[in-house]
């Protein structure tokens, strides 16, 4: 093999080293693959629905609104009829999510729709706001099954962004919230 041919092969090999990752990335992009780290655990609401005009009635905080002036995200638990043991576990999971957010916890508030604010529940779950809301998007996502809970994430502007079906994974909700709240 002469020197000129060897140099051409080296040049082609160098080009392949740099072009191969781009070709692979382009092929993965065309196939629709995304790394798990970039996927939401919840379902993105398309288009985001504005519920800021709804005036929810909170059991304790009279100034509660979906649009938050302190720029806090809201995790809303939508309870089906009859909040029993499974429902209360989800309420406890929400408080655990809040505590696991550490420094970001001040930028997250928790609300529950569809559960009566009894003194026992308010004492048991002090971080939860028990709210009554007539917002159509929230009512549409409320589960029909007894003792079930769905969840939604509302941004500080009052837009419904993510939804989680009953039986969602609380760790996935925490992961999504930690990506959203910076």
Q: What is the pLDDT of residue 54?
A: 85
Which positions of the chain have pLDDT values less than 50? none
**pLDDT reported for residue 15:** 93
Helices assigned H by DSSP within 32-143? 85-100, 119-124, 136-141
Q: What is the pTM of this model?
A: 0.79
Determine the pLDDT at residue 146.
Answer: 85
CA neighbor of 158 nearest in space, from 178, 179, 133, 123: 133
pLDDT per position as a tens digit, 83-116: 888 889 999 999 999 999 888 888 999 999 988 8
pLDDT at 36 (0 to 100): 66
Amino acid 135: pLDDT:
87
Indicate the domain borders of the chain: 1-33, 39-180
- Position 60 scores a pLDDT of 74
- Choose the CATH number for 39-180 among 3.50.50.60, 3.40.30.10, 3.60.15.30, 1.10.760.10: 3.40.30.10
Q: What is the pLDDT of residue 11?
A: 93
| CB of 155 closer than 8 Å to CB of 73 | yes
Q: How far is CA 124 from CA 43, 92, 99, 111, 173, in A?
A: 30, 9, 15, 14, 22
Residue 104: per-residue pLDDT: 86
What pLDDT does residue 61 have?
67
Give the pLDDT score at 34. Answer: 74
């Amino acid at each position: 093999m002469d020197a000129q041919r060897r140099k051409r092969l080296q040049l082609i090999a160098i080009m392949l080293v740099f072009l191969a990752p781009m070709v692979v990335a382009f092929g993965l992009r065309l196939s629709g693959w995304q790394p798990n780290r970039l996927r939401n655990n919840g379902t993105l609401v398309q288009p985001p629905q504005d519920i800021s005009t709804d005036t929810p009635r909170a059991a304790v905080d009279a100034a509660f609104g979906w649009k938050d002036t302190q720029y806090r995200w809201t995790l809303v638990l939508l309870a089906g009829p009859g909040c029993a043991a499974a429902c209360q576990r989800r309420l406890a999971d929400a408080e655990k999510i809040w505590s696991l957010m550490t420094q970001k916890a001040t930028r997250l508030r928790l609300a529950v729709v569809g559960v009566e604010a009894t003194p026992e529940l308010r004492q048991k779950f002090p971080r939860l706001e028990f709210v009554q809301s007539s917002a159509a998007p929230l009512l549409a996502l409320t589960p029909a099954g007894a003792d079930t809970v769905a969840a939604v994430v509302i941004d500080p502007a009052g837009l419904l962004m993510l939804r989680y079906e009953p039986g969602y994974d609380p760790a996935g909700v925490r992961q999504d919230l930690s990506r959203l709240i910076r």
